[in-house]
Chain A
């Protein structure tokens, strides 16, 4: 790979153990995060994207458990770290922001107290120095009159402001990697755009890498450099953002794009993907997407395809692109089409 990789996730497996059953929420996920770039992880709810994100910082609560794989951060496997070592990474080199700004801040502590906490843990800053830095951080994330905000409680702030505070908290110790789990989903559209813009600016300023977890391809198009598409706990396609949007290959990715309203092509109507995500206990044994895939053959239903390299920095998990493909050869030649104005 041509550029430096800051985080390399290999065959990550995270399962939940409920009443004696194992539910494989993340089932062998592999992706790389290039340094200074943004990787988007897209998928429907239940695809395992948020669990993957939480697994990176090992924030999985019982009954969930990371059961296998490697998470190599700057060459070190984080899964080999003990609790103490891991705590020194969290909020320091790797930070995280969450979906729900309304509930992600502790209601009984002031904004300043919560910002100072990370600074105290990782930088040893005392109260005064911490407050100064907190004010600086709030200013950085575009909160007006930051000095008066540090003494306010979260309930005194709007959702957008709270998410800015969360970002300030995440940036407190100049992290090298920021994991953003649906950071704009709970916000109004106008606030969404501002937050995404802010993240981009901060990334340029601090040369951070970002993992952007989202179900919104619009967010991906705006912010990401690379994209991993997840379906049922597995990555089905990994590509750079331009390739993915111009030439999506996996039938699921194509389906996702077709169900998206677009301004650049004429659409008579949106075309949703048929069927629903299978429940965890009735996972198909072949390709997870086979029951919903318009091209699925017996092979697809029987055997799970592997995630294979096709072309530079592009990986795909689909039988169509293998030599074993037993379906219509034309599909292989023309590839699943994204709809354009001609149809």
Chain B
């Protein structure tokens, strides 16, 4: 197991390197001179030169990359063009909000998804099963930003139960979390159902029945533990998708998270902030996947730990 973890961590290095190169190139792949873009079309040449100087745009690319990556490793994400403040200071408080939103939504997805999926599988083809599967299909076909708008209209505007925007206090987080977590819940419900149905037809379930184990115990002890193994992977991927999906939810609910910062910075061409936001989400996602992979191996006794 330790060997597996070490190897899996080592495998991360090329991925993180690639991610950082891609993020670094964002600014350079943009057609036109980034300094010009940042300064605006009518900026005097001195300003552009100044920006070029401060970004080190006149150095050879490898040197620029080296400066960038060594800064990142030390927590220096550059300077925001818009606010002229260190990007890290700008991004971290807002990253915490996005992280919170994503974690709550993931928890909601897993909780709702598991319950719905289990009920569906245990009562295959029942009214409950069919209803759950239809709702799940809608759930994953709905744009989360539209769902967010509809939730605002019904529960905030019409009923007044929750505030329509913001991220302060318990009642304000309800609608954004539902809006962001629904698609994930739908995906996890479908996954849990098919995984449970697959497990229920396995030989070892028949063995358990032949031993005289109660149906309930068979489902919650023998089947569920096996069925959860593939669901873990999906839940991990969901977390990443929600982290990115937060961009839309934050925009709908006017939450001052990193997603909104990212969108604003793209519009304003504040490249250092764009780079930082994208890099952080990608790195967090990669790390979460690492944890998921390791727990997958840990849960799944059947697979060889050496590969």
| Chain A residues within CB distance 8 Å of chain B | 57, 59, 61, 83, 87-92, 95-96, 98, 100, 103-109, 117-118, 121-122, 153-155, 166, 169
Contacts and interface: CB of A to CB of B under 8 A. Distances in A.
Given A107-B226, A108-B225, A153-B301, A88 B204 contact: no
A299 B209 CA distance: 44
Contacts of A118: 211-212
Contact of A87 (B212, B225, B229, B301): B212
Nearest to B225: A108
A102 to B, nearest CB: 9
B204 A106 contact: yes
7 contacts: A59-B206, A90-B212, A91-B211, A98-B203, A98-B210, A107-B226, A108-B301
Given A59-B206, A100-B203, A107 B212 contact: no
A105 B202 CA distance: 10
Contacts of B290: none
Contacts of B222: 106, 109
Nearest to A172: B211
Given A98-B203, A106-B204, A166-B207, A89 B212 contact: yes
Contacts of B215: 83
Interface of B: 201-204, 206-215, 222, 225-226, 229, 299-302
Contacts of A109: 222, 225
A213 to B, nearest CB: 14
Contacts, number: 70
Q: Name B's interface SS.
A: helix
B115 to A, nearest CB: 21
Contacts of A154: 301
A95 to B, nearest CB: 7
B215 to A, nearest CB: 8
Nearest to B303: A155
A122 B226 CA distance: 25
A166 B208 CA distance: 11
B207 A90 contact: no
List 8 tightest A-B contacts by C-beta distance, closest first: A91-B211, A90-B212, A91-B212, A103-B203, A106-B204, A96-B210, A118-B211, A104-B203
Contact of B210 (A57, A106, A153): A57
Given A98-B203, A104-B206, A108-B299, 12 more contacts: A57-B210, A59-B206, A61-B201, A83-B215, A90-B209, A103-B203, A104-B204, A104-B207, A106-B207, A106-B208, A108-B229, A155-B302
Contacts of B203: 98, 100, 103-104
B213 A117 contact: yes
B135 to A, nearest CB: 25
Given A155-B301, A155-B302, A105 B213 contact: no
A155 B202 CA distance: 16
